[in-house]
Structure formats: C-alpha cells, structure tokens
Copies of this chain bind each other. A is one copy, B any other.
Amino acid sequence: MENKKTFNLQMVKRLPLYVNALKKLRASGVEYISTTTLVKEMKLETMLVRKDLAGLGIPGRQKLGYKVNELLIAIDGYLGWNRYGEAFLIGAGALGSALMGYKQLEEYGLNIVAAFDVADSKVGKEIHGKTVLHLSKLPNLAKRMGVRSAILTVPPESAQTVADMLVMAGIRGIWNFSTKELHLPDQVICHNENIAGGLAAFSFKLKEMYDKETKNGQE
C-alpha cells in the first residue's frame, strides 16, 4: 500500500513539470505532441512518461500523438488543481515572505489572501503588498472569508499549537513547511514540504559521489 502511494505521489509531483512544458509548447503554436517529443522536452525516461500519460487516462491518436490542450485539461482534472482556492499563510519569516512573493504559486492558482504572525517585529509589516496580521485575528477572518487552506511556515516548536488553532478555525488543508509532523484529525489533510529533508538528500548524493571517487582512486 505504502509503495503504491509513494508512486502516485511521485507522479502527482511531476505533473507541474508537464504543465510547464506543455504550456511552453502551446505558446509556440504546437497542437499535437508525440510521446517522443514529450520525453525529450521533459528530460524523463520514456517508460515513465508513458506511465504518467496512462495514469492521466488520455488516449494518444495514431500518428498525431496527444493533443496538448487535452493533456493540460486532463492534468487539471486529475490534480483538482485550484481546489485549495484562497489560502492563509502563518509565519511571516524568511520562508513565509518568500512564498508570498513566489510568482510560480500564483501561476498555479494559489492565492495567499492574508499572512499572520505573532511577533511584534512582523505584525503590521507589509510584505509583497500584504500587511501581516496578528494570528489572533485568523479565526474570525477564516469564517468571514470562507478560507479553508493554510500554509504553515512557523518554527517547528510552535507548529502543533498553531495547527490545533487552524483546525478549530475550520481549516481543512495544511501545506506544512515547519519540518514538524503534525497530529491532525481525520477530516484535515496535510502535505509536508520538507526542505531540510531535501538538503539531507542533496548531502547524501554528494557523499555517495565523493565516496565512489575515493574508492575508485584507491583501486
């Protein structure tokens, strides 16, 4: 089970890369695309691209290949892209501020409508055109605006407390950058973004490479 889930997740995470490539092709007037061209454009293995396309359930046309627009629509449908609608951001530190100014998120339809913090140094500050509000204002605003998604960029030690408060405020989805696993009720989904984990993976790959070279050098 875990296995299957891992694979689906990897496919899901690749889809924005397809969207980028397909939009670029569409902008240059391409209507149909062959698997071969897509493989080349995506710089992925042929088998993987075939698997991803099969997963989307779009049939290719003999000789013509896939219709670029159909693929884009299929990806949209598969991801339920945009379901998060408007989102709150909690924790206006370096990472939080960056996400507020990160244009790619907007391109994918994620609209950060308000940012919150508790630090005197941050509340009231304007970041990328939005004023940081005190966290205590979140429950009322969530109710009034109907916001149900949140981006959590607080330090690990306050992550659970803030998450509990978000749940109480009716938040149903948390995109968690806090490097802390959260205890959440079943009706709330969470996706962990683990940048420290990415750094660990980067370090591990470097280690493997340098170790291999040292070993080869000794032989």
Interface residues, chain A, with chain B CB atoms under 8 Å away: 3, 6-7, 9-10, 12-17, 20, 42-44, 78-84, 93-95, 97-105, 108, 110, 128, 149, 156, 172-173, 175, 179-183, 187, 189-191, 193-211
Contacts and interface: CB of A to CB of B under 8 A. Distances in A.
A199 B175 contact: yes
Given A6-B10, A43-B183, A81-B203, 14 more contacts: A13-B200, A20-B180, A44-B181, A80-B203, A80-B207, A82-B203, A83-B207, A94-B128, A98-B98, A98-B99, A104-B179, A175-B198, A189-B208, A191-B201
Contact of A203 (B83, B95, B97, B197): B83
Given A95-B98, A191-B205, A206-B149, A108 B172 contact: no
A201 to B, nearest CB: 5
A93 B105 CA distance: 14
A198 B206 contact: no
Contacts of A191: 198, 201-202, 205
A43 B105 CA distance: 29
A108 B179 CA distance: 13
Nearest to A182: B43
Contact of A83 (B42, B94, B198, B206): B206
Contacts of A206: 80, 83-84, 149, 172-173, 189
- Lowest 7 CB-CB distances: which A-B pairs, in order? A80-B207, A98-B98, A13-B197, A94-B101, A16-B196, A43-B181, A191-B202
A149 B200 CA distance: 14
A180 B81 CA distance: 20
